[in-house]
Chain A
Amino acid sequence: MTAVQRQGGASPAPVPAPQAGPPAPSGGVRPGLADVRARAAATPPRKGLRRAVPSTNSGRIRAFVAGVVVVLVALLLLAWNGVDDARTGVRVIDTAGPQVIATGDLYFRLTDMDAQLAHALLVGDGPAHKDDRQQAIDRYTDSRSRADEALIQAARLARDSTERQTARSLLDALGRYEQFAGQALLQDQNGPVHSPGQASTQVTKLYRSATDLMKLELLPQAYNLTLDNGTIVRHTYEDKRSAVLTGRTIVVVTGLVLLVLLAGFQWSMARRFRRLLNLPLALTTVAVVVVVAWTAAMLGSEAASLSKAKTDGFDSILALARARAIGNSAQADQTRYLLDPERGDTYEQVFQSKSQTVLYLPADNLAGYQDSVRALKTLKTGPKDHPILGFLGAEGHRPSSDAKALGAVLRGFQRFQANDRQMRDLAKVKQTGAAIALQTGQAATDYAAYDDSLVKLAAVHQTTFDKAMKDGKGGTQGWQYALPIAGLVVVLLLVVGVRPRLAEYR
């Protein structure tokens, strides 16, 4: 405020303007005003942009007020835009996220159809296995209808002709698959009653056609369609999160501009009207600070909610859904290994490759891999450690992953691999009956427990997702009213602040 104190004595800058002269003061000449008028007469008219700069007090006040209102409106619009981005982000992820996860279920259901078909054909139709076979057929039927549902959902999410064609092609292949499956079951039923693992060559051939179709056409396209669907969530997340964060920076910068403008206004008023503080104007400044800080904090927390929902929620849920589907398909490869020994090498190799997709440990062969799996103590890795590769390894590398649920998953996976070793050892010494009994008995129970542990781990992330979405929705609640009201308050305070000064010129 030194400028204000020294103002009287210092020679003020010549700031006249040829037009927009002061409104003729009706009563008396105030100090300072005479000076201005004298200078206005003495200085030559200015050119260019400077002509636009008002030189009188009232003109200056009006210009400042106009400037403040313009920047304020810009600030509110930008804040509104940021809020809108945050809302769109939350809304799209909240609806598309679960839909994408539902289409991920398609892959799981398809692998389950093929697994159940193999199971039913493996155990045969002898009286001792009647219930087991019926159960497999029932589960096949159930998975088929759920696959249909998931496929319709996925088709609905398809965004362009390429994705729609994939969905159509899936429907077509599913129809052909069901035909093969039906024929294989019928042929098996009409043929002579056989003991487990003794399906006829014809039946095995029909099953090969079915499972090849599944492996080569259905599963790849189903998986790819889910990947395509998943990009909706990723794009929305990346676009909206960066828009919200950019919005926050812009709001802060615009807010600072507004504050500088208000401070300049204060200073100018203080100098010209010799008042140290204009209270309403000071309150306007405070109100602007509050609006900017509040908006910035809200946008920051919206971005954090989006990030949490995407990385700690959605990504994990989707990765675990894939781990579940691929695991289920690996389990079916065990059944196929027993059902069709001629292709045993292939089925064993793909079992290993699928297991390594779920949890990667380098190994020369399946036995070596299974030794490494047995020796593994934990899936959890620190932020600076090398992550274990594969779906479960990636899950263990997330800082947010639940150690207890992860432990249960690892133990389940270890049992799954240990049972596999035992089953193959039995099959290799031609104890096929015992191998099949293990595979359809204890190993099946253990696998179900492992699968269940994956579902539980996914549920932890589902909770994270739901909470982040709730926070995201709650964070912007009421902002459509709060922003205009805040704007009105600022304008009112401004008017209250400048009205008495302007009145002096009427």
Chain B
Amino acid sequence: MRTRGTRGLTFRALAVGLAASAALTACGVAGASGSSVATKDKLIIGVYADQPGLGRLSGSTYQGFDIEIAKQIAKFMHVKTVEFKTITADNREGKLQKGEVDLVVGSYSITPDRKTKVSFAGPYYVAHQSILVRASDAAQVTDVHHLAGRRVCRVKKSVSFPRVQKERGVPVVPVDATGYNDCLTKLVAKQLDAVSTDDLILAGLYAENAREGGPALKLVKTSFSDEPYGVGIKQGDVDGCEAVNKAITQMYQQNIPGRLLQVQFGSSDLDFTWTVPQFEGCE
């Protein structure tokens, strides 16, 4: 049987070799796209559940500017199904890294530190730090320096308070609160004099207060920082990041974010930016 064995072996080797080549080619093609969000039909998007105006869960539906932006991004990416999941400031990086959420849209400021853990598409909006005071104080507070000696809300882990105290060097009196909703409660109850953080968050608080018939407040038109709100994405998904950026560009070319801002925050008399922000870049 040796003769046939030899020849059989040769033919088999040929067959195996060609099959292997074919398999390698297939790998080369498939490996390029992988599990990028750019190619998914369904996206799981992490959002906040407790930020008035931006991302809030009421009943079983999420509402707010971030939610609408997330829906628009998915629409322009031609995604069929979108599922929202609640995230918090503590767990958003972990959830992205573990793949529990595909994207995070939740007033997520792009910082060099965070960029070492996750990638960012966008920003989809650049918020500015501003000040919310009771209307009766509005005449005295037109600038961050006018906060000197006043009681200002401090939320743990938020960079807003240190920006006033350390970065701008204004001698303010800190009053601790558990979150910005708590700040609003305390501002209304006169337990503190001012809340200073991103203008969109303040505009959300402003609208909330107006809805609930609280005392008159004033959103001071001052901006002393740029907070680029990015779309968090798993580190290294460059194709996905580019696809999100393209979606954001198209969204702005149709003026959608400006209109969404008007709907959510128009009552606060805030100045919005209607044009696309400068992206961070995906690499």
Please name 10 pairs of A and B residues whose Cβ atoms are closer than 8 Å in the assembled complex, sorted by A.
A220-B275, A220-B279, A227-B245, A227-B279, A227-B282, A257-B13, A264-B10, A345-B222, A346-B223, A364-B162
- Chain B 2-29: CB-based contact to A (< 8 A → 1; otherwise 0): 1111110111011001101100110110
The interface size bin for chain B is 35 or more
B196 to chain A, nearest CB (A): 12
Contact yes or no, B20 A13, CB < 8 A = no
List chain A residues, Cβ under 8 A from B222: 345
Contact B249 A166 (CB under 8 A): yes
Q: Of residues 207 to 237 in B, which have CB atoms within 8 Å of A's CB atoms?
A: 222-226
Query: B10 contacts which of A13, A217, A261 (Cβ < 8 Å)?
Result: A261
- Per-residue CB contact flags for chain B residues 266-281 toward chain A (1 = under 8 Å, else 0) read 0000000101111101
Distance (whole angstroms) from the CB of A240 to the closest CB of chain B: 11
- CB of A287 closer than 8 Å to a CB of B: no
Find out whether the CB atom of B25 lies under 8 angstroms from the CB atom of A246.
Answer: yes
Cα separation A353 to B112 with both chains bound (whole Å): 11
A221, B274: Cα distance in complex, Å: 13
C-alpha spacing A250/B276, complex, angstroms: 46
Q: Are A389 and B238 in contact (CB under 8 A)?
A: no
Contact B278 A254 (CB under 8 A): no
A15 B3 Cβ-Cβ under 8 A: yes
Contacts A224-B279, A231-B242 given; indicate if A250 touches B21 (C-beta within 8 A): yes
Contact with A along B89-124 (1 / 0, CB 8 A): 000000000000000000000001101100000000
User: A357: which B residues are within 8 A, CB to CB?
Assistant: 112
CA distance A162 to B242 in the complex (A): 13
Report yes or no: B162 in contact with A221, Cβ–Cβ below 8 A.
Answer: no
Q: Give the residue of A67, A71, A220, A389 whose beta carbon is less than 8 angstroms from that of B115.
A: A389
Verify B144–A345 contact, CB threshold 8 A.
yes
Instruction: Quote the shortest CB–CB distance from A175 to chain B (angstroms).
Output: 15
In the bound assembly, the distance between CA atoms of A224 and B168 in angstroms comes to 31
Q: Is the CB of A12 within 8 A of B3?
A: yes
Size of the chain A interface, CB-CB below 8 angstroms? 60
Tell me how far the C-beta of A234 lies from the nearest C-beta in chain B, rounded to whole angstroms. 7
Known contacts A13-B2, A260-B13, A264-B10; A238/B112 CB under 8 A: no
- Chain A residues whose CB sits within 8 angstroms of the CB of B264 once the complex forms: none
Known: A250-B24, A264-B9. A15 touches B4 (CB 8 A): yes
Chain A residues positioned under 8 Å from B1 (CB to CB): 13
A415 to chain B, nearest CB (A): 23
Given contacts A260-B14, A345-B168, A353-B225, 14 further A-B contacts (CB under 8 A): A15-B4, A162-B246, A162-B249, A166-B253, A230-B281, A234-B238, A254-B21, A261-B14, A264-B7, A346-B224, A352-B167, A365-B169, A389-B112, A389-B113
Kindly state whether residue B283 has any CB partner on chain A within 8 Å: yes
A177: interface (CB < 8 Å): no
Indicate if the CB atoms of B5 and A13 lie closer than 8 Å: yes
B139 close to chain A: CB less than 8 A: no
A378 at the interface (CB under 8 A from B): no
Q: Which residues of A contact B24 (CB under 8 A)?
A: 246, 249-250, 253
Closest to B29 in A: A246
Q: Which residues of A contact B226 (CB under 8 A)?
A: 349-350, 353
A257 CA to B20 CA, complexed, in Å: 10
Flag whether A143 is at the interface (Cβ < 8 A). no
| List of 6 A-B pairs having minimum Cβ-Cβ separation, nearest first | A257-B17, A264-B10, A220-B278, A246-B28, A364-B166, A389-B112
User: A223 contacts the other chain (Cβ, under 8 Å)?
Assistant: yes
The contact of A264 among B6, B27, B162, by CB within 8 Å, is B6
Closest to A6 in B: B2
Indicate if B250 sits at the interface (CB-CB under 8 A).
yes
Q: How far is the CA of A326 from the CA of B276 in the complex (A)?
A: 18
Once the chains are docked, how many angstroms separate the CA of A273 from the CA of B166? Answer: 93
